[in-house]
Amino acid sequence: MKLLLKNATLVLRNGEKKADLLIDGGKISRISNNIEENCKTVDCTGKHVFAGLIDMHVHLREPGFEGKEDIESGSRAAVAGGFTQVCCMPNTNPVCDNAVVVSYIKYRQSQVNLCKINPVGAITRGQEGKAMAEIGKMKEAGAVAISDDGKTVADTNVMRLAMEYAHGFGLKCLCHCEDINLVDGGVVNEGYNSTLTGLKGSLRAAEDIIIAREIALAESLDIPVHICHVSTYSGVEIIRSAKARGVKVTAETCPHYFILTDDIITSFDTNTKVNPPVREEKDRLAIIEGLKDGTIDCIVTDHAPHALKDKQVEYNLAAFGMSGIETSFPLSYTYLVKTGQLTLSCLADKMSFNPSEILNLGAGEIKEGALADLTIADLSEKYVIDSGKFLSKGKNTPFNGFEVYGKVLYTIVDGNIKYKN
C-alpha cells in the first residue's frame, strides 16, 4: 500500500527540508519535490514530519498490573503521544526475567498491532538483585536490553557480572541509580522544600553514588552502560566528565526533570511523587545544559501509570511515578525548542535517533529506504493538557492544565496510520 505525504516539512538529522514523501511497502520509497502518485494522500502543508518517536523507557504494567495499564491501553497512549516504538521495563508480575514473559509481551504487541514494543528483560531473577536472569534466552526471544528498573542492583559484583554477560549477548544494562540505604524511605528531594513540608527527603548523593559506580564498572570493563532518568546537576557532571574520558556511557532524562522543581511538592499533590524525585532549579538548569551539550542523549518518559487509588492516599504512601507518554513530545517541544534551547533536529535526535542507536533498533531517521515509521505534528497549535482525555489508564500527571504547543496529528508505523487526531 502506498501513502503520500504532500508539502511536508521533514525534520532531518541536520536541519529541516520541505518535500513530498512517498511510502511504499512499509518503507520510505522517495523524498522529492512534486511527487505525483494516485494513492492515499495526506496534506502536510504547515506540518512537521519526524522520524517516528521512540520512548526507550516506559512501564506498560502487563502482565500483572492491568488495573494501572495494559499493553493495549499503553499502546493506544503511545501512538497518541507520537511514539512508534517503546521499550517496556520488566517490573511486572511475573517479572520479565525469562524468555516466556518476553515472548508474551511480543505476542501481545502483535495482537494489539499499534506501536512496536521492545521488552527490556530483568537483570536479576525476580529483580531481587541476587541470581542473574536468563539474559541470552531473553535476547533470543526479543529483549533489547536488560534493567532492574525501579531498583538498583545493590551487589556491585552481581552488577559487574551482569554487564559482562549482557555485553557478551550484545545487550546494554539500563541502570536505575538509587542507593536504597541512603534513600532510607525518602519520598522527595532533600532540601528546603522537604524541610518545609515535613516530607522525608532523599539526597542527590543517593543517585550520584550509583551513577558513579555504574560508570566505574563500565570504565574498568570497557563495556557500554546507560544511565536512566538523570535528575541531579551532580549526576550530569559525573556523566559529562566520564564521556570526556571516553567512557562508553549514555544517559536519558525525562520532561519532569527539565520542567519542574520541587516547589511543586508544597501542594502535597501525589502526582508530583516520582523516583528519582524532581529536584531544584540548579538541577533543572543543569539537565537542560546536559541535553544541549550532548551529555544527556535521550528524552524518555519513564511512563509510570498508576490507578487513582494508588495516588489518592497520603503522600508517604502514594506510588512513585507519572503517566508521561501522551505529554512528552508537546512538553519537550514547548520547553526546549520553543524556548530556543534545542533545535528541532536536536529534539528529534533525543526522541528518536539516539534511542535507536543506543539499542540498535534500526530506526530513527528519515531517508529513502528507511522504515516508514513517522510522526506528523502541528507545532503551531496551542492546547491545554487534560489528563481526563488521556488514553492511558494512568491519569497521574503533574502537568494537567499546562499550555503546550505541538499536537501529534498522525503516527505511522511501517507505513500504516496507527493514530490520527
Residues that bind ligand DOR (CB under 6 A): 59, 91, 149-150, 176, 274-275, 302, 304, 320-321
Catalytic residue among 70, 148, 262, 302: 302
302 catalytic, yes or no? yes
Q: What are phi and psi of 114, to 5 degrees?
A: -115, -90
Q: Which does 387 bind (CB under 5 to 8 A by kind): ligand DOR, Zn ion, none?
A: none
Between 149 and 365, CB nearer to ligand DOR: 149
Cα end-to-end distance, the chain, whole Å: 21
Which string of b and e fits 301-330 if b means at least 16 CB within 10 Å? bbbbbbbeebbeeebeebbbbbbbbbbbbb
Q: Which does 321 bind (CB under 5 to 8 A by kind): Zn ion, ligand DOR, none?
A: ligand DOR
Quote the CA–CA distance of 411 and 421 in Å, as a whole number: 9
Q: Select the span of 74-82, 124-132, 173-181, 233-241 touching Zn ion (CB under 5 A).
A: 173-181
CB of 145 to Zn ion, least distance (A): 12
β-pair type (374-384, 48-51): antiparallel
Q: Which does 320 bind (CB under 5 to 8 A by kind): ligand DOR, Zn ion, none?
A: ligand DOR
Between 243 and 395, CB nearer to ligand DOR: 395
Quote the CA–CA distance of 146 and 396 in Å, as a whole number: 26
CB 361 within 8 A of CB 85: yes
Select the residue interacting with Zn ion from 97, 149, 214, 262 (CB under 5 A).
149
Q: What are phi and psi of 41, to 5 degrees?
A: -125, 135
Between 91 and 334, CB nearer to Zn ion: 91
CB of 59 to ligand DOR, least distance (A): 5
Between 55 and 302, CB nearer to Zn ion: 302
Between 277 and 290, CB nearer to Zn ion: 277
Instruction: Output 185-193 pairs: Cβ under 8 A, ≥24 positions apart.
Output: 186/277, 187/273, 187/277, 187/315, 187/316, 187/320, 188/262, 188/265, 188/273, 188/277, 189/262, 189/265, 189/277, 189/278, 189/279, 189/280, 191/262, 191/279, 191/280, 192/280, 193/262, 193/263, 193/265, 193/266
CB of 31 to ligand DOR, least distance (A): 39
CB of 149 to Zn ion, least distance (A): 4
Q: Residue 342 has what DSSP assignment?
A: S
With binding defined as CB under 5 A, does residue 302 bind Zn ion? yes
Which stretches of 50-155 are DSSP H helices?
71-80, 99-112, 135-141
Q: Select the span of 151-159, 170-178, 207-215, 233-241 touching Zn ion (CB under 5 A).
A: 170-178
Between 318 and 412, CB nearer to ligand DOR: 318
Q: Which does 274 bind (CB under 5 to 8 A by kind): ligand DOR, Zn ion, none?
A: ligand DOR
Q: Which does 326 bind (CB under 5 to 8 A by kind): Zn ion, ligand DOR, none?
A: none
Quote the CA–CA distance of 278 and 269 in Å, as a whole number: 13
Grid cell in block for residue 180: 536504597
With binding defined as CB under 5 A, does residue 116 bind Zn ion? no
Select the residue interacting with Zn ion from 47, 139, 172, 176 (CB under 5 A).
176
Q: Residue 340 has what DSSP assignment?
A: T
- Dihedral sign from CA coordinates of 402, 406, 412, 418: positive
Q: Which does 134 bind (CB under 5 to 8 A by kind): Zn ion, ligand DOR, none?
A: none
Closest chain position to ligand DOR (CB): 321
CB of 103 to ligand DOR, least distance (A): 22
Site residues (CB under 5 A) for Zn ion?
149, 176, 302
Catalytic site positions: 302
